[in-house]
Chain A
Amino acid sequence: MNWRAVQAIYTFEMARAYRTLAQSIVSPVLSTSLYFVVFGAAIGSRITAVEGVSYGAFIVPGLIMLSLLTQSMANASFGIYFPRFTGTIFEILSAPISTTEIVIGYVGAAASKSIILGVIILATAGLFVPLHIAHPFWMLFFLVLTAITFSLFGFILGVWADGFEKLQIVPLLVITPLTFLGGSFYSISMLPPFWQTVTLANPVVYLVSGFRWSFYEIADVDVSISLAMIGLILGACLVTVWWIFKTGYRLKS
């Protein structure tokens, strides 16, 4: 393993986040705080507790998941897309590094940023609502695994995109709606039976449900199914990344 190369990519990407601190950390924290103010304090006070958990506290895992998914994708996709856009990717492709090392560097940095962000949002949430984490280990496990999975997804997106518009399309038009409709702000048991069934086709439901279970031991689907779903998405992403490097798709002509 060329760990120095992994470290170089990782450090480079983390430095980029530091340079764009307002965009990387402050902006997501601010928008999450606004969600707490609007949904938690203003509207939440009129909504009764969900399965014994106050509405403000109930939405915390969903809000963290929302930021985790969008930021993991944004960080990883931009991280690999920008060198492709500027042409500096030549250096990565001509360096003595394997595909695994490239992925560890970019995805590792993107996932790290998202995890740090997730922890900051969790701490911010603690200022608004009383927090209870029933299973800290599983909470971290879900946090890390989701960050890695969706950073891989973002990496794929960054390789696939051939313009800034495409880079934005999937997070804005697919992931954000799926997250909003994936039980971030409600339990799917609140939906009519037909929509409960439809919602189960949304993979984000399983992520939010499992993550929420680690906080409050309440879940829309069994936690083992949530874990299996993350594993499935992770596996699909790994296979796609393997295929990208094997074929050189959009990287090597």
Chain B
Amino acid sequence: MAPVISVSNLSKTYASGFRALKNVNLDIARGEILALLGPNGAGKTTFINIVCGIVKASEGTVLVSGHDNVTNFRAARKEIGLVPQELTTDAFETVWATVSFSRGLFGKPPNPQFIEKVLKDLSLWDKKDARIRTLSGGMKRRVLIAKALAHEPQILFLDEPTAGVDVELRKAMWDTVRRLRASGVTIILTTHYIDEAEEMADRIGVVNHGELILVEEKRELMRKLGKKQLVLQLHDTLDALPPALASHKLELAQAGTELIYTYDTQGERTGITALLKDLGEAGIRFKDLHTTQSSLEEIFVNLVKRPT
């Protein structure tokens, strides 16, 4: 299937000379959830802003459903909804007015039933006549999502949508994202909460210093880059590792009560069988064992630490 967004050789150099994006290439499939991870200033927001038409690219092209987002901006932008990072809302408008305004801006005829559904889905219905300045930060965030959804977009950009919102609202937002995804909407999100990306995304893209370091299926990424650890809880405390076990590169932890063995899930052999055999021969008994896998956060930290 043709990608819903196709980005080729995208670069951005601001007037100050700062290179925010460097030759980014990315295809996004229809209906997927892509999470863009990266430290502050990595270029995630610049990327989103260029695709949405807010910032001009210095080089490269962006196709949205096959439409160039500069030469055929109407067709390209019609498909996109954007929830910006900042809480940039009107202050004196009512919720209903500002969401209806957004729908009109995208050329859609008025549809009060649809607006009502959007507001109800986001638990904003009872606030529809409230002026936005009277709302809490979390409510304003919901209003921004409602505005982005008002024109029934097929692609939704969420630029750190859960920054500064409470746990309950975060969960409600992700429920909304799941519903949208189920209806076929493509979702591109940036987040600092890596657990969210881990939970929500189909694919993960990592951006650092303006470069897209990698884009990978989430499961594949975790499989490739994830290291697994076997933790053995010892029956008797060890003061030091016996020399016979040196080849296994074990780590003695928890004041000598735990042995940690790190292995590569991609390797032909994990070495677990040999380790257990050697442990038995060395007379080391253990009372329990479990394995742990690196979280996406650990993978991410390792990736952005790498020299580029």
Contact = CB atoms under 8 A, between A and B. Distances in A.
Interface of A: 2, 4-5, 7-9, 11-12, 15-16, 19, 86-88, 90-98, 248, 252-253
Interface in B147-200: 147
A98 B107 CA distance: 12
Contact of B14 (A12, A248, A253): A253
Interface in B77-109: 77-78, 80, 82, 84, 86, 88-93, 97, 101-109
B147 A91 contact: yes
A163 to B, nearest CB: 18
A253 B55 contact: yes
Q: Residue among A2, A93, A94, A97 with the most chain B CB within 10 A?
A: A94
Contacts of B74: 2, 96-98
Given A12-B101, A96-B107, A248-B56, A86 B88 contact: yes
Interface size class, chain B: 35 or more
A19 B53 CA distance: 31
A7 to B, nearest CB: 6
Contact of A252 (B56, B90, B105): B56
A2 B54 contact: no
Contacts of B49: 90
Contacts of A16: 92
A43 B15 CA distance: 57
Contacts of B86: 87
Contacts of B212: none
B10 interface: no
B82 A94 contact: yes
A12 B92 CA distance: 11
Interface string B41-55: 000000001001111
A5 B107 contact: yes
Given A90-B49, A96-B73, A97-B107, 16 more contacts: A2-B107, A4-B108, A5-B105, A11-B101, A16-B92, A86-B88, A86-B91, A87-B84, A90-B52, A91-B82, A91-B102, A91-B105, A94-B80, A95-B105, A96-B78, A248-B56
Contacts of A92: 105
30 contacts: A2-B107, A4-B108, A5-B104, A8-B103, A11-B101, A11-B104, A19-B92, A86-B90, A86-B91, A87-B84, A87-B86, A87-B88, A88-B88, A90-B54, A91-B82, A91-B102, A92-B105, A93-B53, A93-B54, A94-B52, A94-B77, A95-B77, A95-B105, A95-B106, A96-B76, A96-B78, A96-B107, A97-B105, A248-B56, A252-B55
A96 B106 contact: yes
Contacts of A11: 101, 104
Interface of B: 14-15, 49, 52-56, 73-78, 80, 82, 84, 86, 88-93, 97, 101-109, 147
Contacts of A91: 82, 102, 105, 147
Contacts of B107: 2, 4-5, 96-97
Q: Chain A binding site: helix, strand, loop or mixed by DSSP?
A: helix
Contacts of A2: 74, 107
A93 B77 CA distance: 10
Nearest to B51: A94
Given A95-B77, A96-B77, A8 B101 contact: yes
Contacts of A97: 74, 105, 107
A91 B103 CA distance: 11
Nearest to B78: A96
Contacts of B75: 96
A5 B106 contact: yes
Given A86-B90, A87-B88, A253 B56 contact: yes
B105 A8 contact: yes
Given A94-B54, A96-B77, A88 B105 contact: no
A243 to B, nearest CB: 15
A212 to B, nearest CB: 38
B89 A88 contact: yes
A2 B90 CA distance: 22
Nearest to B108: A4
Given A5-B107, A93-B54, A253 B15 contact: yes
Contacts of B89: 86, 88
Nearest to B103: A8
B90 to A, nearest CB: 6
A58 to B, nearest CB: 40
Contacts of B102: 91
Contacts of B103: 8
Contacts of B105: 4-5, 8-9, 91-92, 95, 97
Nearest to A87: B88
B88 A15 contact: no
A86 B93 CA distance: 13
Contacts of B80: 94
